[in-house]
Amino acid sequence: MKHVRHAIVGLGIAGATLAWRLKMRGESVALIDDPQPNSSSRVAAGLITPFTGQRFALTPRWDEFWPAAESFYRQVEDITQTSLFTAAPAVRIFNQQEFDDIAAARLAQHPELLRRIDPPAGLGQPGDIAVELRIAGRVDVPAYLAATQEYFSAHDEYYEAKIEADKGVQLAALELKCDRLIFCTGCYAPPAEFAWLPLQPAKGELLTVELPGLDLSQIIHRNVWLSPLGLQSNNADRFQVGATFDRDNLDLLPTVEARDELLAKLAQVTSQPPQIIKQCVGLRPIVRGRQPVAIPSRNDDGSWIFTGLGSKGCLLAPFLAEGFAAHLTTGSPLDRDLQLRGAR
């Protein structure tokens, strides 16, 4: 029977990143996944953006999260000899009113991150104003997960299996023993000891479309984002458009409402009619209070849960997984952002 220090359940952004962080510290790791095509990570667009939402708010701790993310993905690229990360400015388009109400103040506060530019030719509406997000990026999440799986498989550290939460943990069937078992299972049913965790997922839908001849090398945001897939592959005419946010309907079926919402918002960015190639659906793992968490089992049996990355897994995971790995291996205090706030 093989013995490892850490068995990680779930090959999504959380599990993959924690596995790498532990491995980079010289720890022995097993990565176990029951691959689900609709897992949040398998549909994620991989965008990393400093300012988000209607309020165009700066993500707290951006100055810590971004450098950790950039250097982490570059390190994984080096180890796996793959290309999975692009750092490039993005553009957000505002109408005059939105610019005056929200963006002008942000520009004045953060000239190192933002600058006013001309709107990209042919995009937006007459009179619109564009702001460049000078530092932004995109992770090719499918490539990241595939490279991770390939690397850990090649080292006999990847297992394809479903860990049945209600039947206890059947690592023996995998001929595996571990000191710690860490559930990075997104918003899939956690094991009984973590059933109390207030998971409040949000459904997200996105479209892959073709817009022939639209010459765009940047990611554009305007109530919706438009991300050129040609940045990472040879799909010059293909773009992703997303994403919706729905807390009520939590099935994994694509909806006409989401498609129409995305198309209507896309029409504010480009008047060119898109051809829809596919529509994807996933559930973002969100913990009440919108916080990521790393929590040990109350039974003190060595099991943990690491989840709650919400809409920003690609940005948050490298920094938080490093802090979590440091806590597990050296006993350093757990990062404040990973400690569950409020009563259990």
Ligand X SMILES: Cc1cc2nc3c(=O)[nH]c(=O)nc-3n(C[C@H](O)[C@H](O)[C@H](O)COP(=O)(O)OP(=O)(O)OC[C@H]3O[C@@H](n4cnc5c(N)ncnc54)[C@H](O)[C@@H]3O)c2cc1C
The residues of the shown chain that bind ligand X, judged by CB under 6 A, are: 9-15, 32-36, 39-41, 43-47, 162-163, 165, 184-186, 188, 204-206, 242-243, 282, 284-285, 307, 309-315
Alpha-carbon gap, residue 186 to 250, rounded angstroms: 14
Minimum Å distance from CB 319 to ligand X? Answer: 13
Minimum Å distance from CB 177 to ligand X? Answer: 17
Minimum Å distance from CB 329 to ligand X? Answer: 20
Query: Considering beta carbons, is residue 106 or 221 the nearer one to ligand X?
Result: 221
Alpha-carbon gap, residue 308 to 202, rounded angstroms: 11
Minimum Å distance from CB 300 to ligand X? Answer: 22
Q: Name the pairing type of β-strands 57-58 and 51-52.
A: antiparallel
Q: E strand or H helix at 158, and its extent? A: strand 158-160
Give 15's contacts (C-beta < 8 A, 6+ positions apart).
Answer: 8, 9, 31, 33, 182, 184, 306
Minimum Å distance from CB 201 to ligand X? Answer: 9
Query: Considering beta carbons, is residue 41 or 218 the nearer one to ligand X?
Result: 41
CA distances to 45, 180, 302, 305 from 296, rounded to whole Å, are: 30, 10, 7, 7
Query: Considering beta carbons, is residue 119 or 242 the nearer one to ligand X?
Result: 242
Query: Considering beta carbons, is residue 274 or 292 the nearer one to ligand X?
Result: 292
- Tokens representing 59? 């993500």
Query: Considering beta carbons, is residue 47 or 178 the nearer one to ligand X?
Result: 47
DSSP 212-258: TT----SEEESSSEEEEGGGTSS-TTEEEEE---BSS--SS---HHH
